[in-house]
Amino acid sequence: MNATLANALTSPLSEERAGLLLRLTEGLEPSALQWLSGYTAGLAAQLSPTQRVLQAVPVADSQIETRLTIVYGSQTGNAKREAEALSQEVQAQGLSVRLLRADAYPVRELANERLLYVVISTQGDGDPPDDAQAFFEFISGRRAPSLKELKFAVLGLGDSSYPKFNAIAKKLDARFAELGGTRLFDVGEADIDVASVAAPWRHNALTQAREVLKTSISSATITPLRPAIASSLYGREKPYLAEVLVNQRITARESEQDVRHLEIALHESLSYEPGDALGVWPVNHPALVDTVLSQLKLNAEEVISIGDQTLSLHEWLSSKRELTRLSKSFVQQHATRFSGKDLNELLASENKEAISQFISQQQLPDLLNRYPGEWRSDELVNTLRPLAPRLYSIASSRKAVGDEAHLTVSLLEYQKDENLRRGVASGFLADRDVGVQLPIFIERNERFRTPTDTSRDILMIGPGTGVAPFRGFVQERTEVGATGKNWLLFGARTAASEFLYQLEWQEALKKGQLHRLDLAFSRDQPERIYVQQRLRENAAEVFAWLENGAYLYICGAIAMGKDVHQALLEIVSEQGGKSKEDASEYLSELQQAGRYAKDVY
């Protein structure tokens, strides 16, 4: 018997079951192991009292008291990274900790928690991330327990350009206190510059965890089933320089939209699954940088040191600072440098929607044109947001394309005060010639996966570039020989110019790799037709697919996702004879079961 198996047999499992457990968990990534721990805990919680005595080892009160639980809800991976970093720091101190994604957290255990940290993002119009929807609803609802024995802290991740900045974190923080919990320290409100708030929040969290747990740390040691899994050679902070193999426009020349299909070579160590995203570190266009320098009359070669980085001003503005996305705090600082009143009056108003809309519509040159002001170079660099990577849904299956990742990128380009403005990342990608290298990394999205049961049908709703991951889904299911059916609903403005991957979808239909394709081209007839209308037209079939176990996926713009969700509520209500509340519960149960997933942006 090997040492690893011997360690496993110290558990209440038989030798045969311990062996099965080792084979099941072999090679799983940390996130998968964490999900599995939460899933099995949830199963144990659902057993009857008799079953628990016979089949489960109860957790002693002393074990609960000496443990920290960290729960995270993450849409793009930032909250997950912060939660993982905190978990590693806590473990390094010899403290007991468990880390769970919100949808894997067994909410029945909340009443018994003694120390809980929640790291959660806010998306869109003040909504929780998809993986935290049920967790948030439970805590906000009537079934939430009294938490008088709980000590807690919350870290929120958001974007201050949205009016409901970190709304979910603030609501959870208030609700925990309302239920009787003791707040250890104030809720953290991180902006796009996550580290400036998250790092001190984690330090405070670690200090408090040591204080709370130090008097009851168990002297027992736990032998893991396997050594810790080494981190990937490449990642967000260590991007891989990937070569561009193809950069091809796939919309017609007369189309207002310039959509690119990119094929990018990957290092053999960079693995991904359909549903994952490719992170790209862009740089600002040289003309944009030159415009800002000219407007502010600053010296491009001036050397500025921040932390352990010393760069010229031109380098800071090119590759380290956001020029196309402004923060509210930057606009507020700029208002103090502007001699007029209208900008200050806007910021002082109570109209959060108007402020948010104003900020979202301004790139830095636009703000400087309209509201001139003076900045010192070091103050400018310190106040601007750090340049963040952009995430793009991968439009391929590695089983089909090998060491490559494909992207579907829509170039954001428009006129503003007679000046051409572009999105920083879409413009950066559109300009990359074949042979040029891109700094990239893989961003996992465990909640957006094809079914492990390949006999299940899937229903994919992806208008515009939202179709990208579904190209990968169909490729993947073809390669693994899935027997379930694939139904795609695609929408765009016109069929003639914006039917993305038209020939591929038609070929897939002929070969039986795609079983149904419904289209909605909004501008091809007087009446505007969108994918949600196609859903309503096929309500009976949609509901039948769901009732028969199909998986449902939505990818695309946030507004579209809300419209489609509303259409689904109506379909479930009408076809299933359910009230609005029961229809909502039906879709929530699908989400919790992993059968209804959204990737919206």
Query: Which CATH number is 299's domain given?
Result: 1.20.990.10
Nearest partner of 411 among 242, 261, 241, judged by Cα: 261
Domain boundary, last residue among 382, 405, 428? 382
Burial class (CB in 10 A: 0-12, 13-18, 19+), 373: middle
Instruction: Locate 492 and state its tokens.
Output: 């765009």
Query: Residue 468 — φ and ψ, nearest 5°?
Result: -50, -55
pLDDT at 112: 92
Predicted TM-score (pTM) of this structure? 0.81
Looking at the fold, whether 191 and 261 belong to one and the same domain comes out as no
Nearest partner of 196 among 416, 437, 383, 431, judged by Cα: 383
**531 Cβ contact partners less than 8 Å away, ≥ 6 residues apart:** 461, 463, 489, 490, 491, 518, 520, 560, 564
Range of the domain at 493: 458-600
In a domain, 395, yes or no: yes
Q: How many domains does the chain contain in total?
A: 4
Nearest partner of 423 among 318, 321, 282, judged by Cα: 282
The DSSP secondary structure of 474-488, one letter per residue, reads HHHHHHTT--S-EEE
Domain boundary, last residue among 346, 366, 382? 382
Sign of the dihedral through C-alpha 571, 572, 577, 579: negative
Instruction: Locate 112 and state its tokens.
Output: 């018994």
Looking at the fold, whether 112 and 196 belong to one and the same domain comes out as yes
- Residue 490, SS3 per DSSP: strand
**480 Cβ contact partners less than 8 Å away, ≥ 6 residues apart:** 399, 454
Rg of the chain on CA atoms, in Å: 26
How far is C-alpha 481 from the chain's CA centre? Answer: 29
Pairwise CA distance, residues 396 & 473, whole Å = 7
In a domain, 225, yes or no: no
Pairwise CA distance, residues 267 & 441, whole Å = 10
DSSP run (H or E) holding 583: helix 580-592
Looking at the fold, whether 252 and 200 belong to one and the same domain comes out as no
Pairwise CA distance, residues 451 & 467, whole Å = 18
Nearest partner of 251 among 427, 493, 46, judged by Cα: 493
**343 Cβ contact partners less than 8 Å away, ≥ 6 residues apart:** 331, 334, 335, 371
- Residue 190, SS3 per DSSP: strand
Looking at the fold, whether 299 and 426 belong to one and the same domain comes out as no
Looking at the fold, whether 74 and 143 belong to one and the same domain comes out as yes
Query: Which CATH number is 270's domain given?
Result: 2.40.30.10
Query: Which CATH number is 532's domain given?
Result: 3.40.50.80
In a domain, 48, yes or no: no
10 Å Cβ neighbour count for 93? 13
Query: Residue 552 — φ and ψ, nearest 5°?
Result: -120, 130
Q: What is the pLDDT of residues 138-178, one digit of tens each?
A: 999 999 999 999 999 999 999 887 888 899 999 999 999 99
Residues of the chain with pLDDT under 70: 1-65, 215-232
Pairwise CA distance, residues 519 & 502, whole Å = 11
Looking at the fold, whether 359 and 505 belong to one and the same domain comes out as no
pLDDT at 460: 98
**301 Cβ contact partners less than 8 Å away, ≥ 6 residues apart:** 312, 313, 314
CA atoms within 13 A on the CB side of 240: 22
pLDDT at 148: 95
In a domain, 453, yes or no: no
DSSP run (H or E) holding 246: strand 240-249
Looking at the fold, whether 305 and 200 belong to one and the same domain comes out as no
Pairwise CA distance, residues 83 & 391, whole Å = 20
pLDDT at 40: 59
Pairwise CA distance, residues 591 & 561, whole Å = 14
Calculated CA dihedral for residues 570, 576, 577, 583, nearest 10 degrees = -50
Instruction: Locate 40 and state its tokens.
Output: 């099995």
In a domain, 249, yes or no: yes
Q: What share of the chain is helix, strand, coil (3-state, %, to 5)?
A: 45, 20, 35
In a domain, 234, yes or no: no
In a domain, 9, yes or no: no
Looking at the fold, whether 145 and 165 belong to one and the same domain comes out as yes
Pairwise CA distance, residues 181 & 150, whole Å = 5
Pairwise CA distance, residues 321 & 342, whole Å = 27
- Residue 408, SS3 per DSSP: strand
Instruction: Locate 41 and state its tokens.
Output: 């805990």
Nearest partner of 411 among 301, 546, 251, judged by Cα: 251
Looking at the fold, whether 178 and 254 belong to one and the same domain comes out as no
- Read off the amino acid at residue 72: Y
Pairwise CA distance, residues 295 & 530, whole Å = 43
10 Å Cβ neighbour count for 370? 13
DSSP state of 263: E
Looking at the fold, whether 312 and 374 belong to one and the same domain comes out as yes
Looking at the fold, whether 200 and 67 belong to one and the same domain comes out as yes
Asked whether 7 and 221 are in contact (CB, 8 A), the reply is: no
10 Å Cβ neighbour count for 11? 12
Looking at the fold, whether 86 and 108 belong to one and the same domain comes out as yes
The DSSP secondary structure of 319-370, one letter per residue, reads IIB-SSS--HHHHHHHHTT--SSHHHHHHHSS-HHHHHHHHHT--HHHHHHH
- Residue 555, SS3 per DSSP: strand
Domain boundary, last residue among 358, 382, 406? 382
In a domain, 23, yes or no: no
- Residue 273, SS3 per DSSP: coil
Asked whether 29 and 229 are in contact (CB, 8 A), the reply is: yes
Pairwise CA distance, residues 232 & 365, whole Å = 39
